[in-house]
Chain A
């Protein structure tokens, strides 16, 4: 019963004829049927679009950006989000910061997803001692609060985007390792995998052709949630002066700038970057919740 359901959910492009719609298409329909997921999808798309399009239409030049005559001006028509302490237009900086913050978070998660899933696959498939050692490694990483470990590592390695990328990836790895290991363990002994092995499929072929595709749904959900978390980490590192270095625009670093001047009453300097962080993270969280429901029809909504 559970087996039949699991197979119907996630076997990609079944070769058993057109029994029903492609599972990915069905999942997509369920996804856009949910208002929560739609809201998430819209928010995420807008920010991703901003990140991709901004550098295409406007070149950020730290040297010409800013006009000291316009320091800390409140929002006006010319500068809808106001200007910061160096007279730089906040809209321009916010738009460019989208690419930096989002880019950092997404690339960190991409690395973590690859490395983590690989660790989990190997641990789950090979088992025994290798499994024990790898999972102990993950438990050790999980003993640290993620944000703290990321902060400590970057503090040691020195501030900057590359070190932030390394640290955020590292703390995001265990979630993937655990998930993919669990997925491998749950499908490893199922009949279609045993059958694939039985007809002479090599270990690698069984792993890549059968086990990996069936482990994907939870990993996809985890990826959206990880990106949400990674944005918060990236911004926290930036806020503590460990992430992007000036004059690179980055949401967390922009908040850190504003924080030093905030008794002067310049609310716009910290309101907008923070709101952008919250909104993007919320978007990814909404999308993640929606995806979880869409990819696993066994769970009812909420």
Chain B
């Protein structure tokens, strides 16, 4: 087990090196002189020289890469070209908002998707199963930025039930200690703030949860169906165990392992989906930040955020794989 974990962790190293190389290469995708393009109208000869020197564009490529990696490993993701702030600082300031949104989305998706998938598997080919399958396929096909717009329009603009932007009302005065609003409001017993935060969270979280919900439902259904057709289930039934015990104690336990992996695999999708969802709901996380940086050609931010997200995805996949091996002792390498 430990050997598997260590071996699996080692495979991550070449991938991370490749990821950093690719993100490093982003600067060379910029057409023309990157320094000029980045500065746009803001370009003055001194500024251009400064940016060139900062990016190390006057040095050989391998030296540029080593320089870049040296900085990244020290937690330095460069400096925003527009505002001059360190990218890493802004990233940490904005990340909690994205975690709160994506975390809520994945919890919602799991809490609804797993039971729904189970029901579909147990009552296979029932009306509910058919409806849920069509629903899940529609969910997978959903452009979430459009779903976000529709939700905001129906529940925000037409019915006026829910706010369609930001994390809190502008009148709400609340200074979170960390940038996690909900845990902070809980800890400080600010119930009004908590309610306000939750109301703001509903629409973007539902929009972002749609695709993982569909994927988790499909996976749970398929996985449980497969387990239920196995011999040990027949044995359990033959022993005279009740159907509930057979499914809950025997089938589900094995069926949930692949579901766990699928939930882990959703991290990347959620973080990419956050760019679209946060843009629609003015949610001040890293997604909105990336969108704004694209508009202002602040490439350092795009680069830094992409690297950061890729590293998170690699890390989550590693943890999921190791957890899988812990939960399933049959896995050996």
Contacts and interface: CB of A to CB of B under 8 A. Distances in A.
Interface of A: 136-137, 139-141, 143-149, 151-153, 155-158, 228, 232, 235-236, 239-242, 252, 255, 258-259, 262-263, 265, 267, 270-271, 273-275, 277-278, 281-282, 285-286, 289, 302
B138 to A, nearest CB: 6
B235 interface: no
Contact of B30 (A156, A239, A252, A289): A156
Interface string B255-299: 000000000000011011101100110000000001101110001
B133 interface: yes
Contact of B138 (A239, A265, A278): A278
A98 to B, nearest CB: 15
B51 interface: no
Contact of A147 (B15, B30, B273): B273
Interface string B16-50: 10110110001101110000000000000000000
Given A143-B314, A240-B275, A286-B137, A137 B18 contact: yes
Contacts of A147: 269, 272-273, 275-276
Given A274-B143, A281-B143, A157 B29 contact: yes
B149 to A, nearest CB: 5
A260 to B, nearest CB: 11
B295 A278 contact: no
A94 to B, nearest CB: 14
Contacts of B294: 151, 155, 240-242
Nearest to B20: A140
A239 to B, nearest CB: 5
- The 4 A-B pairs at the shortest CB distance, nearest first, are namely A274-B146, A140-B18, A145-B268, A145-B272
B146 A148 contact: no
A51 B116 CA distance: 37
B276 to A, nearest CB: 6
B272 A148 contact: yes
B155 interface: no
Given A137-B18, A151-B275, A255 B146 contact: yes
B149 A236 contact: no
Interface in B118-153: 133, 137-138, 140-143, 145-147, 149-150, 152-153
Interface of B: 14-16, 18-19, 21-22, 26-27, 29-31, 133, 137-138, 140-143, 145-147, 149-150, 152-153, 157, 268-269, 271-273, 275-276, 279-280, 290-291, 293-295, 299, 302-303, 306, 309-310, 313-314
A278 B140 contact: no
B313 A143 contact: yes
A267 B154 CA distance: 10
B275 A140 contact: no
Contacts of B138: 278, 282
A141, A144, A155: residue with the most chain B Cβ atoms closer than 10 Å? A155
A271 B272 contact: no
10 contacts: A144-B313, A145-B269, A147-B272, A151-B290, A156-B26, A239-B143, A239-B145, A240-B276, A252-B145, A278-B142
Contact of B29 (A156, A235, A252, A267): A156
A143 B280 contact: no
Nearest to B280: A259
Contacts of B290: 151
Contact of B279 (A139, A240, A262, A278): A240
Contacts of A273: 146
Contacts of A228: 141
Nearest to A149: B306
Nearest to B290: A151
Contacts of B309: 144-145, 148
Contacts of A252: 143, 145
Contacts of B142: 278, 281
Contacts of A289: 137
A149 B305 CA distance: 11
B19 A140 contact: yes
A285 B137 contact: yes
A236 to B, nearest CB: 6
A294 to B, nearest CB: 17
Nearest to A235: B143
Given A157-B29, A241-B295, A278 B310 contact: no
Nearest to A146: B272
A158 B31 CA distance: 8
Nearest to B21: A140
A140 B15 contact: yes
Given A285-B140, A289-B137, A148 B149 contact: no
A147 B306 CA distance: 11
A255 B149 contact: yes
B310 A262 contact: no
Nearest to A166: B29
Contacts of B153: 262, 267, 270
A156 B269 contact: no
A146 B272 CA distance: 8
A282 B29 CA distance: 33
A270 B303 CA distance: 31
A212 B314 CA distance: 32
A273 B146 CA distance: 9
Given A144-B19, A281-B142, A285-B141, 15 more contacts: A136-B15, A140-B18, A145-B269, A145-B309, A147-B269, A152-B303, A156-B27, A255-B143, A262-B149, A265-B157, A270-B150, A274-B147, A274-B150, A278-B138, A289-B137
